[in-house]
Structure 1
Amino acid sequence: MRLSIATAFAAMMTIASAAHAAITVTDDSGATVTLPAPAQRVVSLAPHVTELLFAAGGGARVVGAVSYSDYPKEAQTIPRVGNNKALDLERIVALHPDLIVVWRHGNADRQMERLRALGEPIFYSEPKHLADIAADLDKLGVLLGTSTQAHAAATKFSADIDALRAQYAQRPRVGVFYQVWDDPLMTLNGDNVFSEIIGVCGGTNVFAADKTRVPTISTEAVLAADPEAIVTATPGATPPDRPLPALDRWKRWPALKAVARDNLFGIDGDWINRPTPRLALGAARLCEDLDAARGRRPK
């Protein structure tokens, strides 16, 4: 039986507060991460990690970050140490980090091997479910010595999601196709945070059963699924009346349910692609969009 977030947090606090004991947590890869004292110099190797560190109260401790670590605003001035394709290992070493936080599937295995050779503690952040975001905040709070602020952020995020679930999850189901990319055409299966958000909003991911986590699909597969709503990420919040070039392709099939009912939606990509507390904003927007789709059903 899965422990509640509160129970897990209490357990971590017990470990972290033991007199003169090392600080120990388990990261998202299942590995144990141990520090002799709260981290003071942290390198973040993913944009979502940078957001989590700031939300957990450790923004001032982040001495290096990768490209696109742009939230909050203060993160934009942090020295860059590369991107998700290439890291400047010499610069990372020069920053003398006592903790490196990485995105397990976003940073290349070869680079990870070289990072591990540095001998500094590495925490892998790969939240696959909504509860994992809150858990990562709490774990980072323990490693940073900022547990009070981190737990407050985790609790607020969980409460925001729970409120949306209570409001929307039991409403009539809406079939949703989430378009990750348009060329080639890609989507997500059910094993990811955004698919879980679709469920929170009372929707159903029409490709949830696909065995591949990020499958490449055909136009014919989407037409066969006939989703009631099609959603994609946009560079910034997109008002309903703004054109969505990535979704224009579907207008060639006016009989497609999502097209016929004008249910082509764009949501700020930073709100739905990064597993951070801002995901609650993206979830709220999606819930509103799916409710609009319900309102457009034929009488």
Structure 2
Amino acid sequence: MAKIHVIKLNILFVTLLLLWSQIASSDSAIKVPDSSGKTFTLNQPARRIISLAPHITELLFAVGAGQWVAGTVEFSDFPKKAHLIKRIGNHQSQDLEQILSLNPDLILAWDGGNSAASIDKFRGMGIPVYLSTANSLKDIAALLRRFALLTGVGDRGEEVASHFERILNELRVKYSARPEVRVFYQVWDRPLMTINGKHYISDVIKLCGGKNVFSDARVLSPVVGREAVIEARPEVIFVNATGKQSSTWLHDWKKWQQIPAVRNNQLYGIKPYTIARPTPRILMGAKKVCRILEKVRKNNRGKLPRLLNHATKIVSPVK
């Protein structure tokens, strides 16, 4: 009888232990909102991550979680250590067998950039998939914090995100209220493409006191005609390119002298990695854009006295 009583006590103890373990696990689970606003849950920090976009890989390294990236996609080239990570395809198509061989405990996906079919397939196989997106400068700081939480380095993520926000705020205070400068940002040449006001590059332009001349376009990266650019009369043209490509794109604008930016030689190439990826390196591009727009303002102020003087001469009575 005593033996049965002991067995019952042991069963009760094990049951309570399992129950306590489940409660403790629930309390310690990592809960982070994804791009849809839903709560994403991980039972423990991710240690074998698949990154499905170059900017995601860069953000992970930025918060000190790069060592846990087991696989990534083409063009994940920053920092240098990212070159050592196994490639599992590109942002649109991935090698499923390679991914499975890496035994991932988390896939970080790019909402709108990765194939929805691939994401559904990964989830169907029981692999946790976290969807993320970055359409604004604010989103970049949010992703730094969220990726840090998902990898158990929340303090470091908070430090990096806070530093990022501090620099942005310094630029905002210094430039955002300055006289507005009209800006055309060229993403591609054939077809001619730009960005609308919901893109983080447009956020940079606004931060620096600029006005994206196609901010009201309906799609994120609209195709526009040269005539539309001429009509928009930008005072500055930026091209998302460097080297020979930048020189070619900028030279193509020289024939359109009726555009203020062309007439005043305010044509500039921007290194894509400093502004086209939603990562902390966008601060480099932001600082350059702010400096250039300030240069245009000074140039415009210098022209005003000459224009006024010219106008005075025109209206002065003949003696």
Say yes or no: TM over 0.5. yes
Query: Alignment partner for residue 254 of structure 1, among 231, 254, 257?
Result: 257
Please give the per-residue CA displacement for 1:246-270, whole angstroms capped at 9, x wherever unaligned.
1222111122100111111111101
What is the CA–CA distance in structure 2 between the aligned matches of 1:258 and 1:212, rounded to whole Å? 24
- CA distance 1:275–1:259, shift in 2 (3 Å): same
Answer with 1 or 2: which has the greater Rg: 2
1:19 CA displacement: 8.1
1:18 CA displacement: 9.0
Query: Alignment partner for residue 193 of structure 1, among 191, 197, 200?
Result: 200
On the 8 A contact 1:44/1:101 being kept in 2, the answer is yes
Query: Alignment partner for residue 233 of structure 2, among 215, 226, 231?
Result: 226
What is the CA–CA distance in structure 1 between the aligned matches of 2:281 and 2:242, rounded to whole Å? 15
- Matched AA of 2:158: H
Larger RCO: 1 or 2 (CA < 8 Å, sep 6+): 1
Aligned residue for 2:10?
none
| Partner SS for 2:160 | helix
1:128 CA displacement: 1.1
What is the CA–CA distance in structure 1 between the aligned matches of 2:189 and 2:293, rounded to whole Å? 21
- Matched AA of 1:296: N
Matched, 1:295 2:298: yes
Instruction: Report matched runs for 1:53-132 at 5 Å.
Output: 53-132=60-139
Aligned residue for 2:248?
245
Please give the per-residue CA displacement for 1:207-243, whole angstroms capped at 9, x wherever unaligned.
101112111111110000010001111247x9xxx96
Please give the per-residue CA displacement for 1:25-74, whole angstroms capped at 9, x wherever unaligned.
01122232111111111110000000111112101100101011010111
1:165 CA displacement: 0.6
Query: Alignment partner for residue 58 of structure 2, among 51, 54, 73?
Result: 51
- CA distance 1:281–1:243, shift in 2 (3 Å): closer
Aligned residue for 2:14?
none
- Matched AA of 2:272: G
CA RMSD of aligned residues (A): 1.8
Equivalent residue pairs, number:
279
Say which structure is richer in helix.
Answer: 2
Matched, 1:173 2:180: yes
What is the CA–CA distance in structure 2 between the aligned matches of 1:126 and 1:206, rounded to whole Å? 24
On the 8 A contact 2:239/2:246 being kept in 1, the answer is no
| Partner SS for 2:50 | strand
Runs (4+) off by over 3 Å? 17-20
Aligned residue for 1:161?
168
Aligned residue for 2:39?
32
Q: Which runs of 5+ in 2 are unaligned?
A: 1-23, 305-319
